[in-house]
Amino acid sequence: MDTSPLPKPNFLIETKRLSKSFGDRPAVDQVDLRVGAGEIFGLIGPNGAGKSTLIKMLTTLLPPTSGDAFIAGFDLRRQSRDVRAAIGYVPQLVSADGALTGYENLLLSARLYLIPRLEQAARIKEALEMTGLTEAADRLAQHYSGGMLRRLEIAQSTLHRPRLLVMDEPTVGLDPVARDMVWDHVRDLRARLGTTILLTTHVMQEVDALCDKVGILHRGKLVESGTPAELKASIGPKATLDDVFAAVAGKEADASGDYRDIRQTRRSAVNG
Amino acid sequence: MADPIDSLMGFATQAYAVADAEVRKLRHDPSELLTRAIQPAIWLVLFGEVMAQVRGLTTDNGRYLDFLAPGILAQSVLFAAIFYGIAAIWERDLGVLHRYMVSPAPRSALVIGKAVSSAVRRLSQAAMVYLLALLLGISVDLDPIHLAAAIGMIALGSGLFSTFSLIIACIVRTRERFMGIGQVLTMPIFFASNAIYPIDIMPRWLKVVSLANPLTYEVDALRALMLVGNTSRYGLAADFIMLAAIAAVMIVIAARIYPRLTM
């Protein structure tokens, strides 16, 4: 397998001037993002800042207009199949199939990721136990609660033990108990398997609770990147992440974001 | 990756994964099969019985209802398959499609899996039409070899039209637009074919259109396979090759543009 040109192997994500424009409008503008192996990296920014577009590019759903990216050592443009095999993705929308049972959803993923037949049963069993869904395995996913669905989706996305897990607003619409369970599960994944995690969020509490590093996206540009402590210190001694966010996004924080964005966020919230 | 047999097995597994998931959904909720049986019943009983009175429609040997049954079988498959794209758009809107698209499965494996699952749905529907035809006293050919060949033709036709529908879905991208287009597409495909009347009575230009219409070849094959003592006009091999070739082209195109849905 040809894996040249390899980036520094200690970065699971390394983008170089990665850009995406829709017509004249740059949605992601020359982003240089680096996510180290084993990190939990939070991507924040106001609606319409380009988070979703960036995530879509990193997960190979959307081809970049210009720039390069290397995911787990694979070239995003030329080795997209290898990239897809190396990552797991939990979209913001509900991606588990409600018309299938939890078990069937996992079986589908096991087959799509070509997990060897002999290992499938054990992996699915383990995933169900890890996510506390063993009891519910034979129920249709459409009868699951929001928190159960999220956990099922994470299980589906990590069945093949990806080196990188990408999650788009993983806890939107969840109640605090369900949210804590998702957080615990994410920490556990990193601890057990060393999975690197990139997530987007609007909840600063989530960044504080989970993330080692945080990047702030604004108008398509990555304007800040560092540990939460670093970013807070750059504002002032008692600053919170909300202050950091407000300093970057400023007054426009609520002025952007399109209908589609809002519709999707709301729907996820309703489904949760 | 390097081993071609491994790659092929992997491809088959991934296509099977998609098809199996769809069949499981159908097992969880089989009500679609019953509702899908209503439309062909209406065509055969209402339209068929009346049109059978029209002189000139009856072909070489026998009753119009016999002539009509394979046409209605193909039509019911077409009508269901042509709206398959709606399901693809719906899956995109839900988020389920994203899960397929970020997996390492080749897009062609996803498209073939979807085509096979559509074929399975349509075959259970075809079984209902066969049953209906028996009830109406049509001389249905139950020879196992002919039945197997009919199953193959129905599966092929259904895979072809559902993949065509998927292509349209990738182009129009929203359910609203698809509904409009779907209606516009079904009627010409249906009427510019030999499904409900013989091609011989068509004006010349329409004959040409009909001969370019894959539905014509599906119906032609089904007339030979479904009815006792009927032969196909273009030859079963020609029918099969036409359908298989068009289906292959559809799959290649769909595999290329399927990712546009989640962009």
**In this structure, is residue B19 part of a structural domain?**
no
Inter-axis angle of helices B236-257 and B107-135, nearest 10: 140
3-state secondary structure of A44: strand
**Mean pLDDT of all residues in chain B?**
92
- What is the number of residues in chain A? 272
For residue A209, count CB atoms less than 10 angstroms from its CB and return exposed for 0-12, middle for 13-18, buried for 19 or more: middle
Instruction: Out of A55-59, A110-114, B53-57, pick the least confident.
Output: B53-57
Which B residues, 108 through 137, put their C-beta within 8 Å of a C-beta on chain A? Answer: none
> In the predicted model, is pLDDT for residue A270 greater than 60?
no
Confidence of residue A139 (pLDDT cuts 50, 70, 90): very high
Q: Nearest 5°: CA angle at B43, between B42 and B45?
A: 65
Pairwise CB contact (< 8 Å): A104 & B24: yes
Query: Does residue B30 form part of some domain?
Result: no
In-domain check, residue B136: yes
A13-34: pLDDT as tens digits? 999 999 999 998 999 999 999 9
pTM strictly above 0.80: yes
For A238, other C-beta atoms within 10 Å of its C-beta total 7
Nearest CA in chain A to B258: A61
The structure tokens 């690197």 sit at A196
What is the average pLDDT across B21-35?
A: 90
ipTM score of the complex? 0.91
Q: CB burial class (10 A; 0-12, 13-18, 19+) of residue B45?
A: middle
Test the B interface: residue of A3, A108, A158 with most B CBs within 10 Å: A108
Distance CA B94, CA B99 (A): 11
Residues A215-249 have pLDDT tens digits of 999 999 999 999 999 999 888 888 888 888 888 87
Tell me the shortest Cα–Cα distance from A94 to chain B, in angstroms: 5
Question: What does the DSSP assignment read for B159-224?
Answer: HHHHHHHHHHHHHH-SHHHHHHHHHHHHHHHHHSSSSSS-GGGS-HHHHHHHHT-HHHHHHHHHHH
- Parse chain A into domains and list their residue ranges: 11-96+166-271
How close, in Å, is residue B235 to chain A by CA atoms? 39
Contact A112 B14 (CB under 8 A): yes
Q: Is B26 a member of any domain?
A: no
Residue B90 belongs to a domain = yes
Residue A170 has pLDDT above 60, yes or no: yes
In a mutational test of the A interface, the residue from B5, B94, B114 whose CB has the highest number of chain A CBs within 10 Å is: B94
Whether the upstream peptide bond of residue A5 has omega within 30° of 0, thus cis, is yes
Give the residue numbers spanning the domain of B77. Answer: 35-262
**A84, A99, A157 ranked by CB distance to B29: nearest:** A99
Contact yes or no for B259 and A61 at CB 8 A: yes
What CA dihedral angle connects A7, A9, A14 and A16, to 10 degrees?
Answer: -20
- Tally of domains in chain B: 1
A169 HSE (CA, 13 A, CB side) = 23
pLDDT digits (tens, 9 = 90+) for B186-243: 999 999 999 999 898 899 999 999 999 999 999 999 999 999 988 899 999 999 999 9
Checking A143-147 for CB contacts under 8 A at 24+ apart, the result is: A144/A96, A144/A102, A145/A178, A146/A173, A146/A174, A146/A175, A146/A178, A146/A271, A146/A272, A147/A174, A147/A175, A147/A177, A147/A178, A147/A179, A147/A181, A147/A182, A147/A272
Mutation pick from A90, A97, A109, A124 vs chain B, by most beta carbons of B within 10 Å, is A97
B98 touches chain A (CB under 8 A): yes
Residue of A nearest to B105 (CA): A112
The CATH fold of domain A11-96+166-271: Rossmann fold (3.40.50)
**What is the rounded average pLDDT for all residues in chain A?**
89
